Chain A
Amino acid sequence: MSTPAPSLDDLIAREYQHGFVTDVESDTIPHGLSEDVIRLISAKKHEPAFMLEWRLAAYRHWLTMREPAWANVHHPPIDFQDIIYYSAPKSQKNRPKSLDEVDPELLRVYEKLGVPLKEREMLAGVAVDAVFDSVSVGTTFKEKLGAMGIVFCSFSEAVQEHPELVQKYLGSVVPYTDNFFAALNSAVFSDGSFCYIPPGVRCPMELSTYFRINAKDTGQFERTLIIADAGAYVSYLEGCTAPMRDENQLHAAVVELVALEGAQIKYSTVQNWYPGDKQGKGGIYNFVTKRGDCRGDRSRISWTQVETGSAITWKYPSCILRGDGSIGEFYSVALTNNFQQADTGTKMIHIGRNTKSTIVSKGISAGRGQNAYRGLVKILKSADGARNHSQCDSLLLGDRCGAHTFPYIEVKNATAQVEHEASTSRIGEDQLFYCRQRGISAEDAVSMIVNGFCKEVFKELPMEFAVEAQKLLGVSLEGSVG
């Protein structure tokens, strides 16, 4: 018949919009990793002795480890000696006191990304701790938060100004021995965000960080540490995007969350790192360790993520439900298109009594994308009355992509209730035809159907993020009908 539909592939294939490289003079150190490099990083950052010792211990441990091979992802070997482990924009040497002092070139980058700091500051009421390459260059709303006793600053700053908090909590959720990439991060991390909410304080605004990889060959090793003290509440947003480039880039971040008694942390991510081109060339390798510790009774940690970028995503935001009656939640949308690979999921470790966890995972595969959900629900002997509900749905667009589900359930307490639901469906030609027969273009129809599929996760996102996420899915899926 003479009415060819735009193929699914055409519709998914929109060029990455955030591809550009900025000319900012970078203060970089040579390629490669050694104890000397770690000493140099620590010295450049004027770190106290405990930090250097911790980094070195992590490095020595890392040397004994092997890169994990269990994930359902494939890539050429990474040469860890071919990476530059520290790069800071020059302007960092004289720390900007306000946005006016920030390198205008940096500000333009954010403008291009649609994240004008000034506008966000004024319009959105969002405090932005912007990480450009490895060092924070703009921190806003500090005074207002400071008056409430909230600390929200770059990690480097926290090391200088609140070393006691850093020393107490750093590595307490993700020890450097945890895994290969966490050990590497611990040894070389250059910066990140730090947040402390004092007892009983409800943080009045969404805290937000925009990450960006820039300087050539620079691995990104951020470290984020968020502590909600007893009865505190914080919602934290993380969004990333990266410029177009050819060589693969390693990104190995660590995020640690600590929720004390009755505290609540909501951590939302929209991840849109450069996914590589349509032939699978380039793109970010995203090996992230994210973990929250519900350390106090009745504490609650929620992870919500929308993962559309990166060539490889390896990421399992997890909750340790230690406190009695604590709650862990994981809501995820992961989309892979072209040659993208994602192996993502969560771990819910129930230790305390009457702990509860919820997992909602939505995987979307298009093109030749491979999408795996990997999740562990572990109920320890001590966890009387623990409950878990998991729901894993996969949506396939086209016939060359794949969806995989690896749920692991370990129950050591007979009073536990664990439920797991899973489904895999192909985006129906029926659904698509139905929408088109109503006058809706194929592209809009795909976007509508996929957004419907993800609705349960999007409703967990803060409003402005949800809108952004929906747009992102639309863009990432263009060309996917066939």
Chain B
Amino acid sequence: MAADHSDKARASREPMLDVRDLAVEVDDKPILRGLSLVVNPGEVHAIMGPNGSGKSTLAQVLAGREAFTVTDGAVRYDGRDLLALPPEERAREGVFLAFQYPVEIPGVSNVYLLKAAVNAIRKHRGQPELDAMEFLALIREKMKLLDMGDELLFRSVNEGFSGGEKKRNEILQMALLEPRLAILDETDSGLDIDALQIVAKGINALRSPERAMVMVTHYQRLLDYVVPDFVHVLANGRIVKSGGKELAQELEARGYGWIEQEAVRERAVAAK
């Protein structure tokens, strides 16, 4: 109990998420090379960058994907070592990843997976598990927000879902699981404008002073609908530029090339 208490005390002083000098490899190939990022409750951060800059790697490492090897740096979440927790523990502690490519699970109904997930997390929080009726009532309420039909509940998880349905299903899960830190990995990719608006509406509805969001995106498009507090540009495994929402507009207008060149110049200067 004492340890618990001091954890909480520390959590109140520390940011929700504190990524420090994070270096990550996959198959001996460095992807992240000393990335730092601080996120506080209530903030929405957009991580932008060209393909291959390491955006998705950051999202997956934070969620606990095992294919990646952390070679240096640290990640603290609520004052705890996030990297020491298995993925399910992170999820139960409130870290949620909306997948870029939601996974299909044949034969397992969507509602079954969602109920198992909600109850696993409720159990962890010391809340009573929901029975089938209570759960259906809860999920129907959340589905309204995302314009989703009942039939998606009883189909196999993501199987035969359209691109838009898959992404909506991810946001539905976020709404159900009520995470403290939501990481959205290219949630806008593959969406037409109508679907994008619905998804954005769902995300905005979930913004709150207690909840932080990290949105990984290649395009500025999503940010027209979900306006971030901070925008970071990731290039070559590092955050090379940070700013407010206007940075996203500049990127949209000028592309990523100028920032990469700027970063190269800065490194050259630093080397001298």
Interface size class of B (residues with CB under 8 A): 35 or more
The reply to whether B87 and A449 form a contact with Cβ atoms under 8 Å apart is no
Q: Which one, A431, A440, A452, contacts B120 given CB within 8 A? A: A440
Asked if A38 CB lies within 8 Å of chain B CBs, one says: no
Residues of chain B contacted by A449 (CB below 8 angstroms): 105, 108
A72 vs B24: C-alpha distance in the bound complex, in angstroms? 44
A452 vs B92: C-alpha distance in the bound complex, in angstroms? 24
The reply to whether A439 and B120 form a contact with Cβ atoms under 8 Å apart is yes
Distance in angstroms from A438 CB to nearest chain B CB is 4
The reply to whether B86 and A3 form a contact with Cβ atoms under 8 Å apart is yes
Asked if B67 CB lies within 8 Å of chain A CBs, one says: yes
A429 vs B68: C-alpha distance in the bound complex, in angstroms? 13
Asked if A437 CB lies within 8 Å of chain B CBs, one says: yes
Residues of chain A contacted by B90 (CB below 8 angstroms): 437
Q: Which one, B69, B91, B173, contacts A1 given CB within 8 A? A: B69
The reply to whether B84 and A2 form a contact with Cβ atoms under 8 Å apart is yes
Distance in angstroms from A456 CB to nearest chain B CB is 7
Asked if B85 CB lies within 8 Å of chain A CBs, one says: yes
Asked if A33 CB lies within 8 Å of chain B CBs, one says: no
Interface size class of A (residues with CB under 8 A): 20 to 34
Distance in angstroms from B161 CB to nearest chain A CB is 14
User: B residues within 8 Å of A by Cβ?
Assistant: 61, 63-70, 83-88, 90-92, 96-97, 99, 102-108, 112-113, 116-117, 120-121, 124, 156, 173, 177
Distance in angstroms from A426 CB to nearest chain B CB is 13
Tell me the A445-461 residues at the B interface (CB within 8 Å). Answer: 448-449, 451-456
Majority SS at the chain A contact face: helix
Residues of chain A contacted by B96 (CB below 8 angstroms): 437
Residues of chain A contacted by B106 (CB below 8 angstroms): 452-453
Question: What are 20 A-B interface contacts by the 8 Å CB criterion?
Answer: A1-B70, A2-B84, A4-B86, A428-B103, A429-B67, A433-B63, A433-B66, A434-B102, A435-B105, A436-B64, A436-B88, A437-B87, A437-B90, A438-B91, A438-B177, A439-B124, A448-B113, A449-B105, A451-B107, A455-B107
User: A residues within 8 Å of B by Cβ?
Assistant: 1-5, 428-431, 433-442, 444, 448-449, 451-456
The reply to whether B97 and A456 form a contact with Cβ atoms under 8 Å apart is no
Most buried by A among B88, B90, B120: B88
The reply to whether A441 and B84 form a contact with Cβ atoms under 8 Å apart is no
Residue on B nearest A450 in the bound complex, by CB: B107
A133 vs B51: C-alpha distance in the bound complex, in angstroms? 67
Residues of chain B contacted by A439 (CB below 8 angstroms): 88, 91-92, 117, 120-121, 124, 177
Residues of chain B contacted by A441 (CB below 8 angstroms): 88, 120
A444 vs B121: C-alpha distance in the bound complex, in angstroms? 14
Other A-B contacts than A5-B87, A433-B65, 11 sampled, CB-CB below 8 A, are A3-B85, A429-B66, A433-B64, A434-B103, A436-B91, A437-B91, A438-B113, A440-B113, A441-B88, A448-B113, A455-B107
Distance in angstroms from B23 CB to nearest chain A CB is 12
Distance in angstroms from A480 CB to nearest chain B CB is 16
